[in-house]
Structure 1
């Protein structure tokens, strides 16, 4: 956990250590679910899905304090092109924003504009919940927030993969996040959903190499525990493990198998 900034700054601090972090992925907009997952020692962070999950701004605001109470950071994936949501979830105390379908340097720059304070961006002032969770005074938060409020642009299309160097070069973009399922659909021209296939694996290797060359971070969504383990071994900075619904099913199946033999 970060010495300054509490759970709000913890993600950036942990990433600087260079050890892959594992996040739970939550789409069920019930704060208690994220709170229970945050209590698991193996999870380093919690990611709330506003794109395909049920989270809205109000649910994010209610959930972040429960995760922070466990000393862990929260990330939020905002809806497609909903850059106006970025500053609001950062104000609520999330440590990083994941923005889907960022396909160009221009779109990445727009993301950075909403996520960073001047001179990097144009984020407006009003982070009252984040201030309370961070324990920082206003001046200190303003000076340090651009460093610990991270912006991750999702690379999940052929256009984004082709533009990955330009996206990574945008000042105010801290890294990229790969969505293997959408990437598999895009690279196959809509012919297949194959997030663990060889084409997607090659694309992941390429994206990771470009992120390393740029000195920036890379995260990835893992659709299974086995794939998550591989992603950790491959050295991704952040591995988002499945979804809360899938984790619930796995736990139920394991318990039922034990009961029924």
Structure 2
């Protein structure tokens, strides 16, 4: 007898207007996100009011602890934007803390094997699909639900993204993308360049780099998973539209620096 796979964010019939990123992905609308690394509720609100569809709260490289993570998720979700947390590792307790904020999705960096991807799924799903525990009142709030409603819907509405950004990840990407419960493979171009080329950023025309990116995209497509990546600006986001389901356009720290550098150069010219 065939085994029925659990419903996921890609196959769910649940419609929740609060889940902006999920709704746009399912509609094929090419949502645009950005990274936030600075720990401020007001900062999160300001970025959320720019028109982005989702904000990736960077708990891997950003200056963001648990308190700021919770505050950012609440502020972003309250403004109708999807908060996504990029966690700092695959440990069960880290995943649990991130999901208990009410995040609409998680992004897990440097996934190198299918076993690591399966561990992520196990920790991010409530039983019977996984081992996630329940005890927080906060997750339901960001989804606009009661806790019982959240418990019934979370497994199939939270978006689980894994970053492919190492040589090992590229070598194993077909098996990683095939893991049930993984919804998106996300290209991490800078770490991928460092791993494959030994420098950052990639020029973009190195055969080993471009073939690796193509392999990641193909793996996602072959398994029916969404594919995303980070890009540097709106021009690149427009150019990549045919390849990806979603892109994240740079981040807050780089955007602030770039604006000031350009304007100061103009003022001094």
Give 1:11's aligned residue.
21
Q: Pick from 77, 80, 96: which aligns with 2:86?
A: 77
Partner of 1:130: 139
Give the aligned partner of residue 91 of structure 1: 100
1:35 corresponds to 2:35 = no
| Unaligned segments of structure 2, at least 5 residues | 1-12
2:66 aligned with 1:57: yes
Report the CA distance between 1:3 and its aligned residue.
8.6
Q: Contact (CA 8 Å) 1:11, 1:148: kept in 2 or not?
A: no
Give the structure 2 partner of residue 194 of structure 1: 201
* Contact 2:90–2:119 under 8 Å retained in 1: no
Offset at 1:196? Answer: 4.4
Q: Is the 8 A contact 1:92 1:128 kept in 2?
A: no
Greater Cα shift, 104-113 or 216-225: 216-225
Q: How does 1:1-261 map to 2 (within 5 A)?
A: 4-7=15-18, 9-41=19-51, 43-188=52-197, 191-198=198-205, 199-231=208-240, 233-256=241-264, 259=267
The 3-state SS of whatever aligns with 2:55 is strand
Shift in Å, 1:100: 0.9
Q: Check the 8 A contact 1:76/1:96 in 2, yes or no.
A: yes
* Alignment check: 8 A CA contact 1:39 1:70 kept: yes
Would you say the 8 A contact 1:34–1:63 is kept in 2?
yes
**For the Cα contact (< 8 Å) 1:131–1:138, is it kept in 2?**
yes
Gap regions ≥5 residues in structure 1: none
Alignment TM-score, normalising by the size of structure 1: 0.89
Alpha-carbon contact 1:4-1:134 (below 8 Å) kept? no
CA-to-aligned-CA distance 1:194-217 (integer Å, 9 cap, x gap): 334223333222211221111111
Give the CA deviation at 1:254: 4.6
Query: Which residue is equivalent to 2:7?
Result: none
CA shift at 1:53, angstroms? 0.8
Q: TM-score by structure 2 length?
A: 0.87
* Counterpart in the other structure of 2:4: none
- Measured in 2, the distance between the counterparts of 1:134 and 1:13 equals 13
Contact 2:103 2:142 in 1 (8 A): no
Describe the shift of the 1:18–1:196 C-alpha distance in structure 2 as closer, same or farther (beyond 3 A).
Answer: farther
- How far, CA to CA, are the matches of 1:158 and 1:217 in structure 2? 21
Q: 1:29 to 1:19 in 2, by over 3 A?
A: same
Superimposed CA distance per residue, residues 93-116 of structure 1 (whole angstroms, 9 cap, x where no aligned partner): 111111111110110111111111
Measured in 2, the distance between the counterparts of 1:195 and 1:225 equals 18
